[in-house]
Amino acid sequence: MASTNNSAMWSKLFNLPTSGEIEMVDSILMKHDGLIVRKMDPNLCHHGPKAQCVHCAPIEPYDESYMKKQNIKHMSFHSYLRKLKRGADKGKFICLEDISCKIKPDCKGHPSWPRGICTKCQPSAITLNSQTYRHVDNVTFENTSIVENFLDYWRTTGNQRIGFLYGYYEPHKDVPLGIKAVVVAIYEPPQESTRDLIKIHMERLDFTDVDMMAMQLGYKRIGWIFTDLIPQEKGTVKYIRCSDSYFLTAQECIMAGFFQNCHPNPCSLSKSGYFGSKFVTVCLTGDRNNQVHIEAYQVTNQCMALVRDDCLLPTNVPMLAYVRESNKERYVPDVFYKVNDQYGNEVTKIARPFPIEYLLVDVPVSAPIEQTYTFNPIPGLRPFPIENRMIEGHLQDFQALLQYMRQFRSEDQFFQAMSDFHLLIYLASMETVPLRDALADLLKALKSKDASKAIEWSKRENWSTVEQLFKAHSDDYGKQSTTQSTNVQQHQQQSSSTAAASTSTGQKWSCTYCTFENELQKSSCEMCNLPKGNDL
């Protein structure tokens, strides 16, 4: 689990936004009044079709009776903002402020902590309350294969897995002024896992290529996902997470709070320019029917503040967290929570420990009726292997690239071939033929869904070199693919002449690409690991 002591390193890895630019979905919702239109009630409305009364007039998006009727547990964040602006001043003086659990620095008049403290610099005590709103109202996977491909690792090894969700935000019509997080792909970072543990390899964690590629495609990191699955007999899984145990552990809540702090939500009503987060936490676990079930959550803004200021600790009981006590190095404000005692009276208790349910906001998960496929649009074809899976049959290498491309037999299918999130990540990091700087035009073509531009890109020298390597490694690739170029033909001629020379010596063959002299029995170059021509 990540420690908040590594916040600087995590912030660098996650490329925290520096500008307070409002996101597109927020700009759209800010222009809507959010009023809920109602039809005439045949029993209560006694007026004509052009008139209105209290029974049919539009109501506000935060109306409690409407939310209860529609079974909406939390109002949307923009409905919450409308509620704050309902007064006569229309919210002119509204200012959203994050909770601070730290002593204000440079307080004059007394020595610094622990030798002195005053009411001006001392942070206020915190009473944990259920959050009435949420920043994201729904998580949607655009097709079921996204989750199925992620689950393949667990099905193959029995070990748990963690990934980061990439997609976009859009208005959610089922909740007034709601926001939906749409997932189009899952990136799996370098990790080591067992049935009970997942450890991310921090030294190998680098989002540069992934974020660059996602941004140029119009997507961003919107959440994280992990599995907690224990298999049982007959293809079922154990039912673990429920109201009698826990939904998220304290450690997972701290991790979720850390990720949300790394992905703050731009907000014009906050002095800092940010308030809360749209980053979601998704868990794959067993349901009451012992089937794989998807659950999504966010942690409250109070939890984000406690995690940011390093005040929360997990305990040996999964459903309980513990607030640090003050010491010489840091002052920690008192944190309380309210609970009903055995007589039904509300009692205030110190949060050492406390149930993590006070920190959770549940988010519904759904799949569209009509599934869409941003990536891997052709059904029945084997997708490119997913990154960082160190198991047989899941490795990303040149041979896997060749086997993947062999499925696409015509030039017209090149656009569909490149529509694979994990393939694009591999191409951006491929060392055999560096393509990172050449991918921009291909990504533009994929974003605009312009197949002709993608085909034009395939005829450039960069991809022609890759195709030449395919032909050198496989006898029938040239017969299957019609995407050829003059550069490829010239490279083939050069390869043939070099191969003939090496055969005549009877001892060694010279690599076409790095000129290293290899033993004749070697099928690939010892230096660059590229295959020799099939005519050798």
Single out the residue of 122, 323, 296 nearest to residue 222, CA to CA. Answer: 296
pLDDT at 500: 45
Check whether 100 has a pLDDT greater than 70: yes
What pLDDT does 475 receive? 64
Average pLDDT of the segment spanning 106-117 = 87
- For residue 302, the one-letter residue type is Q
pLDDT at 486: 39
Q: In what order do the strands lie in the sheet with 354-355?
A: 312-314, 320-323, 354-355
- Identify the three-state secondary structure at position 222: strand
Check whether residue 202 and residue 298 sit in a common domain: yes
For 347, other C-beta atoms within 10 Å of its C-beta total 11
Q: What is the band of 8 on the pLDDT scale with cuts at 50, 70, 90?
A: low
More confidently predicted of 11 and 189: 189
Query: Which of 479, 499, 519 is a domain's end point?
Result: 479
pLDDT band at 283 (very low <50, low <70, confident <90, very high): very high
The confidence band for 519, taking pLDDT boundaries of 50, 70 and 90, is confident
What rounded mean pLDDT belongs to the chain?
Answer: 86
What's the whole-model pTM score? Answer: 0.85
- Pair of tokens at residue 186: 């899952």
438 residue type, one letter? A
Percent of the chain with pLDDT over 70: 85
Please tell me the predicted confidence (pLDDT) of residue 487: 39
Burial (CB count within 10 angstroms: exposed 0-12, middle 13-18, buried 19+), residue 203: exposed
* CATH code of the domain in which 292 resides: 3.40.140.10
Q: Which domain holds residue 473?
A: 378-479
Confidence at residue 14, expressed as pLDDT on a 0 to 100 scale: 59
Residue 514 has pLDDT above 60, yes or no: no
In a domain, 396, yes or no: yes
Q: Are 350 and 335 in contact (CB under 8 A)?
A: yes
49 domain residue, yes or no? no
Residues 472 and 501 grouped into a single domain: no
Same domain, 300 and 392: no
Q: Which residues contact 102 (CB under 8 A, 6 or more apart)?
A: 123, 309, 330, 331
Residue-wise DSSP of 460-488? SHHHHHHHHHHHHH-SSHHHH-----HHH
Same domain (yes/no): 284, 233: yes
Q: Are 375 and 387 in contact (CB under 8 A)?
A: no
410 secondary structure, DSSP code: S
| 148 and 291 co-located in one domain | yes
Same domain, 267 and 149: yes
Is residue 261 helix, strand or coil?
helix
DSSP per-residue string spanning 384-449:
PPPTT--STT---SHHHHHHHHTT--SGGGHHHHH--HHHHHHHHH-SSS--GGGHHHHHHHHHTT
Most confident of 34-38, 235-239, 301-305: 301-305
pLDDT of residue 28: 95
Q: What is the DSSP string of 102-157?
A: SPPSS-TTSPPTTS---TTTSPPPEEE---SEES--EEEESSTHHHHHHHHHHHHH
Q: What is the mean pLDDT of residues 226-237?
A: 91
Q: Region 407-425: what's the mean pLDDT?
A: 92
Residues 42, 44, 47, 50, Cα dihedral to 10°: -70
pLDDT of 190 > 60? The answer is: yes
Cβ atoms of residues 191 and 198 within 8 Å: yes
What is the pLDDT at residue 206? 87
Which of 342, 366, 390 is the last residue before a domain boundary? 366
> Which candidate, 416, 413, 411, 466, places its Cα nearest to that of 438?
466
At which of 366, 400, 430 does a domain end?
366
pLDDT of residue 498: 44
Q: Cβ contacts of residue 92 below 8 Å, gap of 6+?
A: none
Q: Which of 57-61, 72-76, 332-336, 475-479 has the lowest mean pLDDT?
A: 475-479
Give the chain's radius of gyration (CA, Å): 29
Question: Looking at the structure, do residues 456 and 494 belong to the same domain, yes or no?
Answer: no
Tell me which residue of 278, 259, 305 sits closest to 162, measured CA to CA.
Answer: 259
The verdict on residue 400 lying in a domain is: yes
Q: What is the pLDDT of residue 477?
A: 63
pLDDT score recorded for residue 507: 66
Same domain, 149 and 284: yes
Burial class (CB in 10 A: 0-12, 13-18, 19+), 425: buried
Residue 219 lies in a domain: yes
Q: Is the pLDDT of residue 481 over 70?
A: no
- Asked whether the predicted pLDDT for residue 432 surpasses 80, the reply is yes
Structure tokens given for 391: 């198991």
In a domain, 59, yes or no: no
Residue 471 lies in a domain: yes
What's phi and psi for 435, nearest 5 deg?
A: -120, 0
* Banded model confidence at residue 535, pLDDT cuts 50, 70, 90: very low
What's the structural domain count of the chain?
3
Q: What is the pLDDT of residue 532?
A: 66
Q: Are residues 417 and 301 in the same domain?
A: no
Same domain, 288 and 404: no
Nearest CA-CA partner of 143 in 325, 370, 296: 370
Report the residue count for the chain: 536
Structural contact between residues 321 and 333, judged by C-beta atoms closer than 8 angstroms:
no
- Average pLDDT score over residue span 495-524: 58
Q: Are residues 145 and 253 in the same domain?
A: yes
Residue 33: band (very low, low, confident or very high) from pLDDT cuts 50, 70, 90: confident
**What's the pLDDT at 183?**
98
The answer to whether residues 203 and 243 belong to one domain is: yes
Task: Tell me: pLDDT of 6 over 80.
Answer: no
Please indicate, yes or no, if residue 47 is contained in any of the structural domains: no
The answer to whether residue 79 is domain-embedded is: no
